[in-house]
Structure 1
Amino acid sequence: MFPPTKTAFALYQEEILNGHILSYKESLDSILKGIIAPQTITEFAGDSGSGKTQTCLQLCISVQLPKCCGGLQGEALYISTNNNFSSQRVRELSKNFVEHYKSLDGKTKSVDFNEDFILKHIHYIKVKDCSELIACIHLLGNYLSGKDVKLVVIDSVSFPIRLLDTKIRKLVLSRLLLELRNLASLYQFAVILTNDLTTRVNEGKSYVTPSFGDSFYHLVNSRVMFSKRNTYFHAQIVKSTFYERKEAIFFI
Structure 2
Amino acid sequence: MNMMMASSNEISDGKQKTTAFSLLQEELLNGCILSYNENLDSILKHVIVPQSITELTGYPGSGKTQVCFQLCISVQLPKCCGGYGGAALYISTNRNFAVQRLTDLAKDFTRQFHQMGIKKDPDVDLNEKTILKNIHCIKIDTTLELLACLTYLRQYLVDKNIRLIVIDSVSYLLRQLDVTNRIVVISKFFLELRVLAEHFNFAVILTNDFTTRVDGEVTLVTPSFGDSFYHLVNSRIILSKTGFAFRAKLMKSIFCDCKEVEFNI
Q: In the alignment, is the contact (CA less than 8 A) between 2:119 and 2:126 conserved in 1?
A: no
Q: In the alignment, is the contact (CA less than 8 A) between 1:66 and 1:108 conserved in 2?
A: no
The structural deviation recorded for 1:68 is 3.0
Question: Are 2:239 and 1:212 aligned?
Answer: no
Q: In the alignment, is the contact (CA less than 8 A) between 1:224 and 1:237 conserved in 2?
A: yes
Question: Are 2:52 and 1:40 aligned?
Answer: yes
Q: Deviations over 1:170-216 (max 9, x none)?
A: 11011101110110000000000000010001121101000000000
Partner of 1:22, secondary structure, is: coil
The structural deviation recorded for 1:219 is 0.3
Partner of 1:101, secondary structure, is: helix
Q: Which residue of 2 aligns with 1:192?
A: 205
Q: Which residue of 1 aligns with 2:4?
A: none
* 2:181 corresponds to which of 162, 168, 183: 168
In structure 2, the CA distance between the partners of 1:120 and 1:163, relative to structure 1 (3 Å rule), is: same
Q: Distance in 1 between matches of 2:88 and 2:120?
A: 21
Q: In the alignment, is the contact (CA less than 8 A) between 1:69 and 1:104 conserved in 2?
A: no
Q: Which residue of 1 aligns with 2:111?
A: 99
In structure 2, the CA distance between the partners of 1:153 and 1:209, relative to structure 1 (3 Å rule), is: same
* 1:23 corresponds to which of 35, 49, 68: 35
Instruction: Please give the residue correspondences for 1:106-185 in structure 2 after superposition, counting only pairs within 5 Å.
Output: 106-107=119-120, 110-185=123-198
* 2:90 corresponds to which of 78, 81, 85: 78
Equivalent position amino acid for 1:218 in 2: H
Query: How many residues matched?
Result: 251
Q: Which residue of 2 aligns with 1:5?
A: 17
Equivalent position amino acid for 2:113 in 1: Y
Q: Which residue of 2 aligns with 1:57?
A: 69
Q: Which residue of 1 aligns with 2:243?
A: 230
* Structure 1 alignment gaps of length 5 or more: none
State percent identity of aligned pairs.
Answer: 57
TM-score, normalised relative to structure 1: 0.97
Question: Are 2:248 and 1:249 aligned?
Answer: no
The structural deviation recorded for 1:111 is 3.1
Q: Deviations over 1:126-160 (max 9, x none)?
A: 00111111111121111111110000000000101
The structural deviation recorded for 1:3 is 4.9
The structural deviation recorded for 1:106 is 2.9
Q: In the alignment, is the contact (CA less than 8 A) between 2:34 and 2:82 conserved in 1?
A: no
RMSD: 1.3
**Deviating 4+ runs (over 6 angstroms):** none
Equivalent position amino acid for 2:44 in 1: L
Equivalent position amino acid for 1:198 in 2: T
* Structure 2 alignment gaps of length 5 or more: 1-13
